[in-house]
Amino acid sequence: MKFKNQYFVAIKPKISISKTSIHAPPKLTQRKTSISYL
């Protein structure tokens, strides 16, 4: 699951940052976005 999440973030970094920027800071964007997407 973790690997898939990272892959998704790598594919759509713009959307991940935009959606996560509202939820958490940029440092947790990748991890928070991966959980939000799933």
Owner of token pair 């996560």: 20
CA 4 to CA 23: how far, in whole Å? 20
Total H helices, total E strands in the chain: 3, 0
Could you report the per-residue pLDDT of 1-38, keeping only the tens digit for each?
Answer: 555 666 555 555 555 555 554 555 555 555 655 555 54
Closest CA to 28 of 37, 15, 13, 17: 17
Q: Provide the residue count of the chain.
A: 38
pLDDT at 38: 47
Domain ranges of the chain: 13-38
